[in-house]
Amino acid sequence: MICKLICHGRNRKEAIQRMNRSLDEFVIEGITTTIPLHKILLNHPKFINSDFNVSWLDNEKVI
């Protein structure tokens, strides 16, 4: 199963806030999801400040 959640805002901060709220309200039952992972990533200071690259997850040991 694949599901896509898209949020937007007037700026990056607002878009991240909306995505966090949307993920908090998202309900999926019966399967394990990646919602907790996305919440960790969205709230990481480097993501919030747009200070990351493709190696970020491996280098920072975020998860």
Tell me the per-residue pLDDT of 20-53, one tens digit each, with 9 for 90 and over.
999 999 988 898 999 999 999 999 998 899 888 8
Confidence of residue 1 (pLDDT cuts 50, 70, 90): low
For 30: left if phi > 0, alpha if psi spans -120 to 50, otherwise beta; the answer is left
Number of structural domains (the chain) is: 1
- pTM of structure: 0.81
Q: Half-sphere exposure (CA, 13 Å, Cβ side) for 9?
A: 12
17 located within any domain: no
Domain of 49, in residue numbers: 34-63
Q: Quick check: 3 and 26 in contact, CB under 8 A?
A: no
53 located within any domain: yes
7 located within any domain: no
Confidence of residue 6 (pLDDT cuts 50, 70, 90): very high
47 located within any domain: yes
